[in-house]
Amino acid sequence: MTELSLNFGTAFEKTRAEVDRVLLSAPLLIRTYTSHLTFTHGKFVRARAVLACAMDEKGSIHNDAVVFAAAIELLHLATLVHDDIMDDAAMRRGVETLQKKFGKRRAVICGDYLLSAALKELAQVEDTDKYKDLDASDYVQQICMGELRQSENNFNYNLSMFCYLGIINRKTAALFEASYFAGAVVCEQDEKRLRLYRRLGRYTGIIFQLTDDCIDYECDAKSAGKSVQSDYEQGVITLPVIHTFHNKPELKKRAEAGELPAKELLDQVKKSGGVDFTHQTAKRYYEKASEALEALRFPRQKAEILKELLDKSYCGPGKTGIFRSDDRLNI
């Protein structure tokens, strides 16, 4: 990594290459497992966000943004590996998961290795003092606390919308905020603008998760590239279910008694408007994110890329944007 100024396309390809380099050059003992993960690449949504946010007025991107983008993707990959273990997931992006193919013990260790690889990647930036406000450890802690809070609320059929939004604010949205902020600190110094970047990232992450919550009720496993209709069986209570239980408390009582089959809940969520309500909630965050994006007044290319990321995070009822099919946010 020697170039200091890159265009978006070149920076994106260098990011993908760097992630593959880390996975394919791991110590031989673990390389079989990390190499398997090269087959599960998603759309590099978070990396795109890092690079777009790092663009200056001329559309140039400092190479430090490539380092940050690769580190973010490695961290995201680590959380996906661990999440697949917790969910006992068999498929990820249409490929057999690490835990399914090689076993949970090896997958746990591989996830830990990827976390350390992400931290090692961050150390490659040229001037660490310049980025002292970017506290990666804080974001990792937020993600862990969000995941733990979700786990503690498994099978909690009384989970409120307020508490649920708090969970995904950490579990999913924190890494999005980290992505936008990591790119911003490469080219921005104004505190007010940096707060807007963080807000844009946080809202986009919430939108992404809410849209993802609807996949269980709108897509089959083939189109989703993952197992669907499994959250409820795993005890994970999402917003479509929260809304349904609120409107139909008799269903909640049956769920608590273990008498509500997943197939029946699937039908009831659709009939009660749980999916539509979740999309409407995502739309409200979309409007907030759009306000933040507008307030930042980016140059055209930068604005277009970030607007595209936002638009494809919020797909709306019945739509299947490019990020929904193979980049689920299980983090």
pLDDT score at 93: 81
pLDDT score at 316: 64
Cα distances (angstroms) measured from residue 312 to each of 10, 94, 196, 233: 22, 20, 20, 28
pLDDT score at 7: 96
pLDDT score at 331: 29
| Residue keyed to tokens 């607007």 | 307
Q: Which ranges constitute the DSSP H helices of the chain? A: 8-24, 28-36, 45-53, 63-87, 98-102, 104-122, 136-152, 161-171, 173-187, 191-213, 215-218, 221-224, 239-247, 249-256, 262-272, 274-296, 300-313
Parse the chain into domains and list their residue ranges: 5-313
1 compared with 98, residue with greater pLDDT:
98
Give residue 130's pLDDT band: very low, low, confident or very high (50, 70, 90). Answer: confident
Q: How far apart are CA 32 and CA 24, in angstroms?
A: 9
Tens digits of residue pLDDT in 276-300: 999 999 999 999 999 999 999 999 9
Mean pLDDT over residues 117-141, rounded? Answer: 90
Q: Report which of 191, 135, 13, 211 is spatially closest to residue 3, judged by C-alpha positions.
A: 13
Mean predicted lDDT score pLDDT of the chain:
90
Q: Is the pLDDT of residue 120 over 50?
A: yes
pLDDT score at 219: 63
| Most confidently modeled range among 5-14, 210-219, 226-235 | 5-14
Q: Is the pLDDT of residue 328 over 50?
A: no
| Most confidently modeled range among 37-41, 200-204, 321-325 | 200-204
Residue 304 tokens read as 């277009």
Q: How far apart are CA 31 and CA 21, in angstroms?
A: 11
Contacts of 226 (CB under 8 A, 6+ apart): 89, 91, 92, 93, 94, 215, 328
Report the CATH architecture of 5-313: Orthogonal Bundle (1.10)
Q: Which of 106-110, 132-136, 313-317 has the lowest mean pLDDT?
A: 313-317
Rounded to two decimals, what is the model's pTM?
Answer: 0.91
Cα distances (angstroms) measured from residue 40 to each of 81, 85, 181: 11, 16, 26
Question: Bridge-partner residues for 5, per DSSP?
Answer: 62
326 compared with 31, residue with greater pLDDT:
31
Q: How far apart are CA 230 and CA 266, in angstroms?
A: 10
Tens digits of residue pLDDT in 219-260: 654 554 445 567 898 899 999 999 999 999 999 999 999 999
